[in-house]
Structure 1
């Protein structure tokens, strides 16, 4: 997120405002009295207090129109994580960062923001997040009036999420959510989308030339690390599906994923196939990765607005249309 200082102004722009996080952010900003310019490649909704600007992020002229006379810019545009199109990520400027910038597939427990960037990013998504965070934080210039800060959420979930819940339900319906990778004790941060929005707005409101936020990164999570498979089970059971119950050794699954990845790489010139379980997905499901919010608490007064329990309940309720029906009765 980057902002040009104009303390009295409440006009802002949200780039990627039609997306999952972006739309939640727009709605909250309007609730707080902001006038919002929304810039995205598609218009997904209409909302009083917003002006929609449609265009490609790489079209400088179209983007400048959306940024005219705004004092705060939130950059939330991003291709979906997991895409294997490197060029798609390299042509995007992504200024909502991610805690994954320090994750290499090994355990991280209560990780601080000063952890080094991953030398071997787990995917293109993470690789480009690292690149954009470095560029944005290095661009901070109090003399030029451009102040920058990076927000690092982790495991965003909530209503209208196009990724986690729909994919989880689809996998369960195909009978492929029966196994737990590892012993199931690995703790992970999941963050309700309203808390991520809250962290962004707090950062914008505290970002001043004399504040400690300038050129810093901040972890924003629910601050409630939970066993990865417990969280997945809560979503599944809440929608009427069976929780995974059979354990597979982490090292075995990771080794198979590596082998399949290598085979896919070798065969790519002849045939393209994408293994269901990549080494990255196995690592995310089987290792500890949770992060400290101490810096955000100290510098911007961050506290989650919605507990993990309440966030899961709201999410399950919002996906009632994906609930298991009588014809799909569990075994």
Structure 2
């Protein structure tokens, strides 16, 4: 596909901006359109002054704006749909999460059909596969197991339905008579510089004398570096543009992990933060089964009083399960079909992330001085 063009949604986000940077290095890519509702000023400046041969166009727009999506897709060869509303604590209205993650995806698929965009790559989530129970142990899982979340919480449910919609759209007839090719990528827990989850964990700890929360002792996760996830998207775009590889990749989903050591979320945060004086909370935490039933009771209370008061429990059964499960997956299928190999080693990813956490520590110190 000589002289191709690409639209990236969520291009101002943690993952999206890195996908854009990788795409700028792609041969024969004539234009990148970076769509998002918000771009940080420094990122807008970076994208407005690219030192590359590829044209980079910033589009300020909403994933729910049909007219915006129609304009954004005109003349585009590949759509990478990374825009998403991530909410694992149910802090956002359910309708809002469902609209952005599911309806937005459906509208974008329709825009692709109308604009004759032949390739659609969806950034899915590990959560579409589970975990469904903290008692179930899944290690080095793979795509052939066809795992599916049973949670109805807005985030995993919306991502599951959106992924199904994308994969079911493979083979749809485009306006001009061509055929739509789709695939989905399911990254593990994504970390790296600018991670909103790491930022929340570290800033909370800084306000608590450097003590990191450690209520996830029983979990085993395989975090994946953001640069490797972005790279996987580029490889997926190459595969779906390749006449030989495309038939194998079409309509498929792929787990994306790397060589980051498998460990609990708390231990992982400690590994990244110990150089800056962070330590794990040594207090004894409640048994996971007790946490689960407390969460269940809080959910019942929330439901019972919902007609008169909107009460959002601080913890839910879904969150307890997510935070305390053994749930890891292999990237062998992505390796086989997409040619995926982690671009960044664990040591590289670790050092980059540790340096960024160090900058958060320095900012905190400066803030204390100005008080």
Would you call these one fold, judging by a TM-score over 0.5? yes
Give the unaligned 5+ runs of structure 1: 1-6
Counterparts in 2 of 1:74-223, with a 5 A limit?
A: 74-82=80-88, 83=90, 84-92=92-100, 93-94=104-105, 95-103=122-130, 104-106=132-134, 107-118=137-148, 120-121=150-151, 123-141=153-171, 144-161=178-195, 163-175=196-208, 180-181=214-215, 184=217, 186-207=219-240, 208=242, 210-223=246-259
Most deviating of 30-39 and 128-137: 30-39
Q: How much does 1:179 deviate?
A: 5.5
Q: What is the CA–CA distance in structure 1 between the aligned matches of 2:268 and 2:250, rounded to whole Å?
A: 34
CA contact (8 A) 2:133 2:325 kept: yes
Q: What is the CA–CA distance in structure 2 between the aligned matches of 1:308 and 1:274, rounded to whole Å?
A: 37
Q: How much does 1:56 deviate?
A: 1.6
Structure 1 residues 316 and 270: CA distance shift in structure 2, 3 A: farther
State the match for 1:317 in structure 2: 355
Q: How much does 1:199 deviate?
A: 0.6
Structure 1 residues 152 and 119: CA distance shift in structure 2, 3 A: closer
Secondary structure (helix, strand or coil) at the match of 1:56 reads: coil
CA contact (8 A) 1:181 1:282 kept: no
Q: TM-score, normalised by structure 2?
A: 0.79
Q: What is the CA–CA distance in structure 2 between the aligned matches of 1:77 and 1:220, rounded to whole Å?
A: 17
Counterparts in 2 of 1:266-305, with a 5 A limit?
A: 266-305=304-343
Q: What is the CA–CA distance in structure 2 between the aligned matches of 1:225 and 1:256, rounded to whole Å?
A: 31
Structure 1 residues 264 and 220: CA distance shift in structure 2, 3 A: same
Q: How much does 1:76 deviate?
A: 0.8
State the match for 1:4 in structure 2: none
State the match for 1:39 in structure 2: 35
Structure 1 residues 271 and 171: CA distance shift in structure 2, 3 A: farther
Q: How much does 1:191 deviate?
A: 0.9
Q: What is the CA–CA distance in structure 2 between the aligned matches of 1:252 and 1:275, rounded to whole Å?
A: 15
Q: What is the CA–CA distance in structure 2 between the aligned matches of 1:122 and 1:224, rounded to whole Å?
A: 30
Structure 1 residues 250 and 90: CA distance shift in structure 2, 3 A: closer
Structure 1 residues 29 and 178: CA distance shift in structure 2, 3 A: closer
Structure 1 residues 198 and 240: CA distance shift in structure 2, 3 A: same
Give the unaligned 5+ runs of structure 2: 106-121
Secondary structure (helix, strand or coil) at the match of 1:245 reads: coil
Report how many residues are paired.
320
